[in-house]
Structure formats: structure tokens, C-alpha cells
Amino acid sequence: MTTTSLPLPGTAALAALPVPAWRRTLRRAAGHRGLLIGSIVLGLAVLAAVLAPWLAPHDPFAQDVTQRLIPPVWHERGTWEHVLGTDKLGRDYLSRLLYGARVSLVIGFVTALVAGLIGTTLGVLAGYFGGRVDAVVSYVITCRLAMPVVLVALAMASLVGGSLKVVIVLLSLLLWDRFAIVTRSATQQLRDAEFIAAAKSLGASTPYILVRELLPNLMGALTVVATLEMAHAILLESTLSFLGLGVQPPTPSWGLMVAEGKAYMFFQPWVIMIPGVVLAVLVLAINLVGDGIRDVAAPDGRH
């Protein structure tokens, strides 16, 4: 981290305080209820995804037609053998849910990372160089914004054929816009800051300035956008999978589980309720973490 003073609100005030900035930030983070709850839920989801092979009581792919559509344990016909019941092919719902967390989280993390890389590169270049570079990048951003994400993703997925990799590539190519917009305007604000001028006068090369001086100052904003886009990507993956053009069966994806349960929802509503609620809770947790980081990074208030 650079310790030079910044024109960003909050961070500048923090840098002037005697207690190290990161420790005060950490203390504020621990006191933020939304951030705390969000981090715990997200942490549990990551744990569940990583430990899925050990946690899952059954093989998520093992079908057993004699055990079809068993309701969850709180239902009068439920059994402890299948805590969350089974689906239309007799596969254990809890096991599929745990493995499904892997799909959602991998797509969320990787998409946010790749889209962040694309968007940040474009945004920083446009913001730092301005002029013609900015004009080109702004045009590309506008073109991207004009595309209806769901429709384009659907059409492309149907051309290429849906799979985990395809979904990640498509979403990464579609969700970089917010990264670019945010980094572009932040870079424009920082371009003329003293510490950039100082680095220039010390003879630092442009790549060095961009990566070592500018980028660390964008990390706060980038983290917030990354969480938002991660949540966005997870929702879009589930939508694509629900429409049959995302992750393909028999891979357990939460969106796919809702799609597979759709035909049974009238009499066994839990087959769509369980994956839907889990999906909403995960997205909610990620959003809470994002909001929390924003609050903690800007102590002056929520707006």
C-alpha cells in the first residue's frame, strides 16, 4: 500500500491518524453487523463447497428410482437418511446442494476476476491517458451497455453450447462494464494527484505508475464492484442454467435444480424452494459483504 495522501474522502483522514489505517479499518469492519453476517455466510458457503466431498452424505450423481421425491426431514414423510429429501431421480438433495455451491462460487469468483481484469485494464488506460484512448474505451463501454445481457448470453450459449467454461467466458465478457466505468472515473480523479506527479518526477515508467502507484488506490472501489459482479454472475448463471443453456445436467447447479424441480413444484414445492432460498441467501450474503466494505472504506456515512 502507498502511504501517500489521497484526495479520496476518508482514506486521507485515516492516513493522518497515528494508529495504522488498516487496524482502524479492521476494527470498524468487526463492528459492522451486515459485513459480519455476510462474511460468515459467505465463509460457510465456501467451506461447504470446498469440503463438499466430505460433507455430502451421498453421491450427488447416484440415482435411485425407488427413493424419488422424498420430502425433507421436517415434513411428516421425511427421513434422516435424506435430510433435504431427494429429487425426481432419487438423488440426495443435500449432497447436490453442497456440490452446487461449487458451481455457483467458482462462476462467481472466476467471472469477477476475469471481468475485473478486462474492465480495470480498459478503465485505467482510458482514465490515465484520456484523449483518443478514452474516446475508444468509452465507445466500447457504450456498445457493451447497449447489449441486453440475458439475451446476448442466451444467444451465444445456444451457438456455442452451454457448459461451465462457456458460462464463465460469456459472463466475463459481459460483466466488465461496471469495473471499467468505476476505475475510469477514479483514475481521472487520481491522474493529477501529487503522488503521481512525484513518481513521474522520480523517473518512474508509466507501467510502474499504473500498477504500483495507481492500482493500490483503486482496490477499495474494485473490491466493492467485484462483490456486486460476483453476485450478478451467480444470479445470471442460475438463470442460464434454469433456461437450459448454462451448466448442463447432471452437474448439480442451483439454477438447474430449480428447472428440474419445476414440473413437481405444485405438489412438492420444496424441490424449487430449497435451491432458490439457498441461492438468494448466498447472493444476499455477497451483497452484504460488498455494502459492508463500502461502508467501512468510506467512514463518512452510507452515501
Partner 1 sequence: MQYGLDRPMVTQFFEWLGSALQLDFGRSFYFQNTVMELVGERLPITLKLGAMSLLLAVAVAIPLGVAAALYRDTWVDRLALLVATIGQAMPNFWFALALIVVFSVGLKWLPVAGNASWQNFVLPAVALGYYAMPSLMRLTRAGMLDVMGSDYIRTARAKGLSPARVVFKHALRNAIIPVVALAAVELGFMLGGSVVIESVYSLQGLGQLAWDSIARNDYPVVQAVVLIIATFYIALTFVADVLNAALDPRMRTR
State the residues that interact with partner 1 by CB under 8 A: 145-152, 154-155, 158, 231, 235, 238-239, 242-243, 245, 255, 258, 262, 265-266, 269, 272-273, 275-276, 279-281, 283-284, 287-288, 303
Task: For partner 1, give the closer residue by CB, 16 or 146.
Answer: 146
Shortest CB 242 distance to partner 1, Å: 5
In the chain, the amino acid numbered 23 is: R
Task: For partner 1, give the closer residue by CB, 220 or 255.
Answer: 255
- DSSP letter, residue 66: G
Cell triple for 202: 522520480
Shortest CB 234 distance to partner 1, Å: 9
How far is the C-alpha of 58 from the C-alpha of 96, rounded, in Å? 9
Task: For partner 1, give the closer residue by CB, 62 or 145.
Answer: 145
Shortest CB 231 distance to partner 1, Å: 7
Shortest CB 198 distance to partner 1, Å: 33
Closest by Cα among 221, 274, 235 to 72: 274
DSSP per-residue codes, 234-279:
HHHHHHHHHTTSSSPTTS--HHHHHHHHGGGTTT-THHHHHHHHHH
Q: Please, are residues 69 and 85 in contact by the beta-carbon 8 Å criterion?
A: yes
- Please provide residue 10's backbone torsions phi and psi, each rounded to the nearest 5 degrees: 90, -60
Task: For partner 1, give the closer residue by CB, 135 or 147.
Answer: 147
Q: Which residues pair with 92 in a beta bridge?
A: 86
Closest by Cα among 220, 223, 200 to 210: 200
Task: For partner 1, give the closer residue by CB, 136 or 263.
Answer: 263
Shortest CB 174 distance to partner 1, Å: 12
